[in-house]
Structure 1
């Protein structure tokens, strides 16, 4: 491999007219070696659609909650009964965050870099970066909508651990992420056109036991990722307190007959 990499390096240098130094040659060999690991990973190329049916986004049962978690959900449900506006800020084009970003009815795509799996998500044109270079999770992460993720391969399964999700993110209805909320995903291609993301959520103060969600994806060979700019043509608004509202009004108001 080394001699082959050097051969191509010197050929490229000769064609470009750039003087090839030993240091540059060694750098080229190092880059080639880095990508050798990438080529051994499972091929998940293509566009994966989560679908829109309830069967594509499954959960076995409602989460089993601690008394503190149940208190949060009870307060949320009581607010709904009173008619309170309890929409999340996603209605104002704020990203859904984990785990919702993986469970919306818009496609995803995987790309690989040395030491990193990138998950491109059409929703909000988001990117999740999963570091598989052996680094640990950060000890004191800055909150982020999708959190901070590290992973490793177990055969053809990508195991992803995520922490540091922004507390504004709704994990399940009525419950927001805390500094102790952790996600473990097991992403596996179970058939040529089928990918499964099993998401396990833990938070000792809220969940009495791990809560598992399953997201299914179908390969769509003829699809392309599209640009998603939520704010463009967004007809949602915010009330005086900044809460999401839905006021479509008259789309033809002000137009001449």
Structure 2
């Protein structure tokens, strides 16, 4: 009987907390009528965009410059490259279907889509079916943010340019391949339409523990009116099936059971 009473108390308390949270969210919510009217005044980033490196470097393309690193970070990066040359590319993150997180999620060779709602711009990336929520309702950055793959993002409009400030990153992500970030990494982005069909994003990364100078890079996207974001389920195709194609990651599968567990229990 006591267990049942405690369970009932817990459920009642949880329900009250949920109602209080919902009430607080409603108090801070932007009215739909004015909120969607304000959206009509903003630059139209809606639709599906695909990275187009020819817009930055010409048809031949070229590799973007490496960031300027602190001596300790440079030594670590040099060791990473040496190991990569000797052993090949480390695919552990891909094997476990971990998304790249910021800033790399914005540079993947897959499309992105912008969705507008009152007080928020959401960037949906086809890569790993990831969503970035950029709050434009005037809230400040969190003082003690959760450490997330895509961080916590606050944005504001400066004319036709969306300015985004992002902090709070998971220790499992990297600035670039082989370059880990520090606890104080911060990312500023400027997003604007160069034309109705071309969107540019300028990204500035500061990280006093890793970067000797701010790392500035630009990405350009071309709009595809007839494209749709496709479902991206990493685990579904994360096995080497030479006869069928696949992720080309050898997970050590049993030849007699090619669809069995990828690792020993």
| TM-score normalised according to structure 2 size | 0.74
* 246 and 52 in structure 1: CA distance in 2 versus 1, 3 angstrom threshold: farther
Name the structure 1 match of 2:77: 73
1:35 aligns with 36
In 1: Cα distance, 2:130 partner to 2:165 partner: 18
Could you tell me whether the CA contact under 8 Å between 1:142 and 1:164 is conserved in 2? yes
Question: Is 1:235 equivalent to 2:239 in the alignment?
Answer: yes
Q: Deviations over 1:44-79 (max 9, x none)?
A: 121111147694997753211111221221221232
C-alpha displacement of 1:234: 1.4
Query: Helix, strand or coil: the match of 2:84?
Result: helix
Question: Is the aligned partner of 1:170 residue 2:174?
Answer: yes
Specify the alignment match of 1:12 in structure 2: none
- Residue 59 to residue 196, structure 1, CA distance change in 2 (3 Å): farther
The structure whose RCO (Cα within 8 Å, separation 6+) is larger is 1
Structure 2 residue aligned with 1:161: 165
Q: Residues 48 and 107 of structure 1 are in contact (CA less than 8 Å); yes or no, is this contact kept in structure 2?
A: yes
Query: Deviations 1:23-42 (Å, cap 9, x if unpaired)?
Result: xxxxxx94212222222111
Asked whether the equivalents of residues 137 and 148 of structure 1 are also in contact (C-alpha less than 8 Å), the reply is: yes
Distance, in Å, in 1 between the alignment partners of 2:91 and 2:193 is 34
**Runs in 1 of length 4+ with deviation above 6 angstroms?**
56-59, 252-255
| Candidates 80, 83, 91, aligned match of 2:87 | 83
Q: Deviations over 1:8-32 (max 9, x none)?
A: xxxxxxxxxxxxxxxxxxxxx9421
In the alignment, does 2:138 pair up with 1:134?
Answer: yes
* Contact 1:79 1:86 (8 Å CA) reproduced: no
Q: 2:219 matched to which residue of 1?
A: 215
Give the CA RMSD over aligned residues. 3.0
Residue pair 1:147, 1:162 contacting (<8 A) in 2 also: yes
Question: Once the two structures are superposed, what CA deviation does each residue of 1:149-204 show, in whole Å capped at 9, x if it has no partner?
Answer: 00111111111111111111021122122221111111111012100111111101
Given that residues 166 and 177 in structure 1 are in contact (C-alpha distance below 8 angstroms), is that contact kept between their aligned partners in structure 2? no
- Kept in 2: contact 1:158–1:188 (CA 8 A): yes
Which string of whole-angstrom CA distances, capped at 9 and with x for unpartnered residues, describes residues 78-107 of structure 1? Answer: 322442763351343111101111111111
Stretch deviating more after TM superposition (102-111 or 58-67): 58-67
The structural deviation recorded for 1:121 is 0.9
Provide Cα deviations, 1:121-168, integer angstroms capped at 9, x if missing partner.
111111100001111111111111101100111111111111111111
* Match of residue 247 from structure 1: 250
1:138/1:190 CA distance change after superposition, 3 Å = same
* Residue 217 of structure 1, CA deviation: 0.4
Contact 1:180 1:204 in 2 (8 A): yes
> 1:110 and 1:58 mapped to 2: Cα distance?
27
